[in-house]
Amino acid sequence: MKTKDAILILDFGSQTTQLIARRVREFNVYSEIRPCTVSLDEIRAFGPKGIILSGGPASVYDEEAPRIPVEIFDMGIPVLGICYGMQLMAHLLGGLVERSFKREYGPAELRVLSTEDLFYGLDSNRKYRVWMSHGDRIEVLPPDFISIAESENSPYAAMRHKERPLFGVQFHPEVVHTEIGREVLSNFVFRICGCEPTWTMESFIETTVREIREMVSSEDRVVCALSGGIDSTVTALLVHRAIGDRLVPIFVNNGVLRKNEPEEVLSLMEGLGLKVHYVDASQRFLERLQGVTDPEKKRRIIGYTFIEVFEEEARKIGNVKWLAQGTLYPDVIESVSFRGPSATIKTHHNVGGLPERMQLKLIEPLRELFKDEVREIARELGLPKKVIWRQPFPGPGLAIRILGEVTEERLRILREADAIVTEEMLKSGWYYKVWQSFAVLVPVKTVGVMGDYRTYEHVIAIRCVESQDAMTADWVRLPYELLARLSNRIINEVQGVNRVVYDISSKPPATIEWE
């Protein structure tokens, strides 16, 4: 950690906290998000060159509003408060924050009053479009602070301390709708905090490989659950670079993979130099799924059977001390929840139960990265486009795309339909432009007419979404011609289907998968 300049982001529950981290990392400066409840000692141990306080839904004058120790401002580390973060800085240092008569949501015009430090390089004679989202505002600045920008509804749209490196902005520089967002954050990170842009994926690979090599002793074996997805593939390759064939990637056929997937994954992995341990456990999975219709129950059965298969295989391999996993940063960030833990919508399957049961130690080389950064590593490692841009595929596979019971017949129908979707998406170039595109088997029957006969068959739904991180998503406006081709081919080529529909729901309120 100490080898690189880093920015620490304290999270007060803003929807855009992750974006702050991404923006800073785009400057090749490492950044990490911690909950705002972090202690001063933890901050010292992290050793940041700068601290950013995120926005958040609370109001600083509320009893229960999240706070930080005021000593943070005396550590000699530059601090930038964004929205709630700025209001909290003002509040803690003796200013006054109140509910504003006029609220600002969406675009606002900003006039910069000082073009030193934070607004360096900008023009004070023009207005800039910035994005605001607040109902409170600063009425009185804390002692020794000055206003450095104003908007129509916020005379203190940005502030700074006269001598110390303490800054606040009422607008959100992390969102793309703020036209000077990049400049403001870059001025903070480079001019004010003095960071060097040394955090690159190349250096990341080097350091990570070295660390794994030092960690794993020369007799130990490492297993890795490999799905062929980008996360587990990159994980396996990094570990492989470090310890060679003492890594044993295990690929499990769980009976709910896509058409030709086992063959394709195996040949792809061979091409990457990985010797994959292949286990066909499809019968075991399918037997256990018999008669099961509840989505969460399907997930649990698959998750648990995965662990069982893994455990058996690892014992066969012998001398396994480590488990490598493709855990990503969004999986590990603990967002502060002063409103209690968030509801479980879906239990995402993983091999999480395994380490305790087998007393395995974990290697999670990607736990600091976002998905797009993992893709950059994949590019850096020279992986082919079809691996880098492979769409995510859930661990429980087609089981959660067959609504209701998973049977051989329904699997056949969905596999065929899904293969057509993928083929046409690839052919038209749309596959790489979207987050995910796939078919769902809706197990209701509808009436149709084919060749003068009455048919009474299944419905296939096509789901195609764009997204940054799967947290929110919107359906893709695919061209009508492509939709027509999909529908036509599926109905003609897949026996048992006489109707195709297109899912036009966003997330929220829907989710990406149907179960």
Ligand X SMILES: Nc1ncnc2c1ncn2[C@@H]1O[C@H](COP(=O)(O)OP(=O)(O)OP(=O)(O)O)[C@@H](O)[C@H]1O
Ligand Y SMILES: NC(=O)CC[C@H](N)C(=O)O
Among 75, 470, 482, 483, binds ligand XMP (CB under 6 A): 470
| CA gap 42, 391 in Å, rounded | 37
507: contact with ligand XMP by CB under 6 A = yes
227: contact with ligand X by CB under 6 A = yes
Nearest approach, Cβ of 251 to ligand XMP (angstroms)?
15
227: contact with Mg ion by CB under 5 A = yes
Alpha carbon distances (Å) from 392 to 212, 340, 386, 510: 26, 30, 12, 18
Site for Mg ion in 389-408 (CB under 5 A): 393
List all residues 6 or more positions away from 484 whose beta carbon is below 8 Å from its beta carbon. Answer: none
254: contact with ligand X by CB under 6 A = yes
Among 15, 100, 293, 350, binds ligand X (CB under 6 A): 350
Between 55 and 229, name the residue whose CB sits nearer to ligand X.
229
Q: Which two tokens stand for residue 341?
A: 């833990």
98: contact with ligand XMP by CB under 6 A = no
Among 66, 165, 229, 326, binds Mg ion (CB under 5 A): 229
| CA gap 211, 205 in Å, rounded | 10
SS3 of 140, please? strand
Alpha carbon distances (Å) from 383 to 139, 268, 404: 54, 10, 37
34: contact with ligand XMP by CB under 6 A = no
56: contact with ligand X by CB under 6 A = no
371: contact with ligand XMP by CB under 6 A = no
Stretch that binds ligand Y, among 57-65, 273-281, 380-388, 439-447 (CB under 6 A): 57-65
393: contact with ligand X by CB under 6 A = yes
Size of the site for ligand Y (CB under 6 A): 12
The residue number with the shortest CB distance to ligand Y is: 55
Catalytic residue IDs: 83, 172, 174
Q: Which two tokens stand for residue 402?
A: 């067959």
The answer to whether 110 and 94 have CB atoms below 8 angstroms apart is no
SS3 of 353, please? coil
Stretch that binds ligand X, among 113-121, 188-196, 246-254, 358-366 (CB under 6 A): 246-254
Residue with tokens 């979707």: 421
Site for ligand Y in 96-155 (CB under 6 A): 133-136
List all residues 6 or more positions away from 459 whose beta carbon is below 8 Å from its beta carbon. Answer: 442, 444, 445, 446, 497, 499, 500, 501
The reply to whether 232 sits in an annotated binding site is yes
* Neighbour order of strands in the sheet with 50-53: 30-35, 6-11, 50-53, 79-82, 166-169, 158-161, 145-151, 96-112, 127-140
The answer to whether 250 and 276 have CB atoms below 8 angstroms apart is yes
In the annotated binding site for ATP, the residues are 227-233
Binding site for ligand Y (CB under 6 A): 14, 55-59, 83-84, 133-136
Tell me which residues touch ligand X (CB under 6 A).
Answer: 225-227, 229-232, 250-252, 254, 325-326, 350-351, 392-395
Q: Which residues bind ligand XMP (CB under 6 A)?
A: 299, 346, 348-349, 392, 394-396, 436, 470, 507, 511-513
